[in-house]
Amino acid sequence: MTTERPLRVAVIGAGPAGTYAADILSRASLPASIDIIERLPTPFGLVRYGVAPDHPRIKQIVVALANVLGRGDIRLLANVNIGTDLTLQDLREHYDAVIFATGSFKDADLNIPGIDLDGSYGAAELVNWYDGHPDVPRTFPLNAKEVAVFGVGNVALDVARILSKQPKDLASTDIPANVMEGLEASPVTDVHLFGRRGPAQVKFTPLELRELGQVPDVDVIVYPEDYDFDEGSMAAVEGHHQTKQVVKTLTDWTLREPTGASRRIHLHFLQAPHEVLGKDGKVTGVRVERTALTGDCNVKGTGEFIDYPVQAVYRAVGYYGTPIDGIPFDASKGTIANVGGRVVDGGDVLPGYYTTGWIKRGPVGLIGSTKSDAAETIENLIEDADRLFAQTEAGPQQLSPDNVLSLLKRRGVPVVQWKDWEVLDAHERATGEADGRERLKVVPREEMTDVALRRKE
């Protein structure tokens, strides 16, 4: 090593991917000074703004992330936007390396006729609303009696469950008041989920699926005619314990009689979205094509079409990353172009830039995948350390951690650090406790920063 100073590293994004990367680097043999820079006034990313409010068990991931961020050896700089508050050139001047862990927040496209009609939405739009994301409108047009959801993953389940659940059964969660008001006014009675393949190919996790069947005053209806298994399906059931559990749950549900609940969730398999139907620019239904398994878990169209009357459509077919100006982006995958976490431009490594998490590999995998992603990226960064020290565009004085804060202060950016987040966290918990909840989220961005920075008593 040619220098005695710590390597200065910026991690962009304070969700699980960025926090795990910072944690792994902080524990490595290479001395490092690490800042996690987050555009929102709060840490935790999709754990705070992507998990349904009635799933506090999953939100316990926050405890592990908070243990890392609260140790004091990693600095949080939240409410800082890359591209405006700090440019890429600023990052190059103040850090030896930058790790992008910005995740995937946009809905993936579904290119079928009518998908742009009024009443057609991406699932992420609804999730952001019911999770109180500060950058989305406070109201959502819940005026449909019948709803279609395209997709058979956990996000699709979340959307169906939140739309169908009686609002009183969400009262003990951290759901914002404006969301409760919107759900209480919703006239929904039926939610239809559509998957183009069979029951053995769905992406539900067993626990999430079982929870769906325990929602009060909601019947889950599975249709025997949508049930089929080919050789590939049977192999999947026999070879994967989770698949076997999911198929057993779905099979049991085909034998259940509806209870007469006021709301229903219909699970349709082997039906591929073909068109969103409309009149006067508004959604009036969906047309699906019945499919048939081909022996290898794939499907082909049969030419048989079925129309369902609905007034709203949500596509839950995956997430897509957001490009960052100046950083190579693979539009086909929705990821930053990279090899092993090293950002590449064409075939050439872009020195000093790295990536991890969904923006590195795409929106697949759970926490275990995020940790292994981060480990690979940090291993390659450490391998590059000598070169990173040598190519930095500024001297050691410029790389002082104080300089970044001074720059942001001069630019009038109200930076939220960990101690400030703890103030906001305590406020949300106290407000929630007074209402019989674990916490009550503050939603508006300005109010969050006011509370965190003690500008509002």
381-417 tens-digit pLDDT:
999 999 998 887 555 556 788 999 999 999 999 999 9
Q: What is the mean pLDDT of residues 89-110?
A: 93
Instruction: Looking at the structure, tell me whether residues 142 and 227 fall in a common domain.
Output: yes
Please state the pTM of the whole predicted model: 0.93
Asked if residue 337 and residue 405 are part of one domain, the reply reads yes
Query: Is residue 138 domain-shared with residue 250, that is, in the same domain?
Result: yes
Query: How many domains does the structure of the chain reveal?
Result: 2
Last residue of one domain, picked from the residues 264, 293, 317: 317
For residue 356, the domain's CATH number is 3.40.50.720
pLDDT tens digits along 194-231? 999 999 999 999 999 999 999 999 999 999 999 999 99
Single-letter amino acid code for the residue at 247: V
| Average pLDDT in the chain | 93
Is residue 447 in a domain?
A: no
> 50-59, 250-259, 282-291, 429-438: which has the highest mean pLDDT?
282-291
Which of 253, 288, 317 represents a domain boundary (last residue)? 317
Same domain, 66 and 176: no
Query: Cα separation of 350 and 353, whole Å?
Result: 6
Residues 88 and 121 in one domain: no
Give the per-residue pLDDT at 363.
85
Q: Which of 317, 336, 364 is the last residue of a domain?
A: 317
158-203 pLDDT, tens digit per residue, is 999 999 999 999 999 999 999 999 999 999 999 999 999 999 999 9
Nearest to 226 by CA among 152, 313, 145, 121: 152
Judge whether 455 lies within some domain.
no
Per the domain annotation, does 43 fall within a domain? yes
pLDDT at 284: 98
Position 276, amino acid: V
pLDDT in tens, 34-45: 999 999 999 999
435 part of a folded domain: no
Domain residues for the domain of 325 are 7-105+320-416
In this structure, the answer to whether residues 136 and 11 fall within a common structural domain is: no
Q: What is the mean predicted confidence (pLDDT) over 115-130?
A: 97
Same domain, 271 and 343: no
Same domain? 386 vs 270: no
Residues 294 and 389 in one domain: no
pLDDT of residue 242: 94
Q: How do 97-100 and 348-355 pair as beta strands?
A: parallel
Q: Which residues contact 106 (CB under 8 A, 6 or more apart)?
A: 122, 124, 319, 320, 321, 322, 334
Query: 25 lies in a domain?
Result: yes
Say which residue the tokens 């950002």 belong to: 343
**Top mean-pLDDT range of 46-50, 58-62, 146-150:** 146-150
Question: Which CATH number fits the domain that encloses residue 218?
Answer: 3.50.50.60
User: In this structure, is residue 359 part of a structural domain?
Assistant: yes
Tell whether 75 is covered by a domain. Answer: yes
> Domain check: are 352 and 223 in the same one?
no
Find out whether 220 and 265 touch, Cβ atoms under 8 Å: yes
For residues 160 and 282, state if they share a domain: yes
185 shares a domain with 116: yes
Residue 454 lies in a domain: no
Confidence of residue 364 (pLDDT cuts 50, 70, 90): confident
**Per-residue pLDDT reduced to its tens digit, 326-338:** 999 999 999 999 9
